[in-house]
A and B are shown apart, each in its own frame.
Chain A
């Protein structure tokens, strides 16, 4: 413990930095190879998402595109944004936002198509006039 105090003293002397010695224990520093691997994976997924538009999967195309985008977003969030190594609560907060975006879009989509016939009718009536 006295050693700890001495270390803190020297740390303060050099950096004016209280708690400096604690930080090294919990801060995760991304190694270069991992940063580059994630970047290459992101490039690869970008290539996939462009290439897949050349294949006709019918209505599946949009879901494949969104799936690839989500895979890319996950890589960015876990590694570039450090969520994999961070306080779990930050991850929870982040995921909660997607939960609410999901609610937002799906509840709106529930009845979206229902108004279309009425709009169409009105448009046709205006045109006929």
Chain B
């Protein structure tokens, strides 16, 4: 190009202006080893995605345990899932999906520099997170009171067993004859508790024949509750961490720290929150909705 062209001159001036500017008013959010906020944002985001990948692999260990036990003992899962309250599970699914919507909306508000909308969305997300934990607390409390715990702590109360027997009838999806057929199919793996086991209370066994109408209790039902508490517990810990992170975002948004030029934390914590939702999307049918 012609070196004397006015366009080139203008470019040179423009660059000079931009450069001097860069020197004097450095963006406080831009680290020196990045060329631009755009590059920094992309790098931050990739880092977050790599962290999320480790989260998925972390949870996958538990999904593996689930798959192995379910493949070997389908009868335990078919029997034990009736103890879980599927209505509360479904409500919690909707609560978490709604919180994902409000979080995605919070990112939108941050991108558009709408501080009021950002705060409202973050508060709604936070309320949903507390709501989820509240419902989870009710479920855990019921399990605790009904003696539906892991390992040697599995001592179901008579009420709990009666609930299962009743639930099996009340629920039109759970046809008892079909369940029996299914149970019979599992043949050798399906050891009905004939010989009393030392680890389990005699009371539960005395009750067992009465509730035989629902479904006979297979052995080692406590395995299901071990898996249930590990999976939902680890997920619950992630919700707690999410509550902490979203509260931090809320404080910063009240300080007016997020604009359309800088909203990286909102975006990245949003991604984390969606991953927590994603794990629950799989947990809900695997634990509550076993056919």
The residues of A with any CB-CB pair to B shorter than 8 Å are 1-2, 4-6, 8-9, 11-12, 15-20, 22-24, 26-27, 29-30, 32, 35-36, 38-39, 42-43, 46, 49-50, 53-54, 56-57, 61-62, 65-66, 68-69, 72-73, 76-77, 79-82, 86-87, 89-90, 93-94, 96-98, 100-101, 104-105, 108-109, 112-113, 116, 120, 127
Contact = CB atoms under 8 A, between A and B. Distances in A.
Given A53-B291, A54-B173, A109-B67, A94 B46 contact: no
Interface stretch (B48-56, B132-140, B149-157, B162-170): B48-56
Interface size band for B: 35 or more
B289 interface: yes
Nearest to B16: A5
Nearest to B40: A19
Most chain A beta carbons < 10 A, residue from B93, B97, B291: B291
B86 interface: yes
Interface of B: 7, 10-11, 13-15, 17-18, 21-22, 25-28, 30, 36-38, 41-42, 45-46, 49-50, 52-53, 56-57, 60-61, 63-64, 67-68, 71-72, 86, 90, 93-94, 97-98, 100-101, 103-105, 107-108, 111-112, 172-173, 175, 178, 188-189, 195, 259-262, 270-271, 274, 277-278, 281-282, 284-286, 289-291
Contacts of B15: 1, 5
B183 to A, nearest CB: 14
Contacts of B71: 109, 112-113
B37 A18 contact: yes
A50 B108 contact: no
Given A30-B108, A80-B101, 6 more contacts: A11-B261, A12-B21, A18-B27, A65-B291, A80-B104, A104-B61
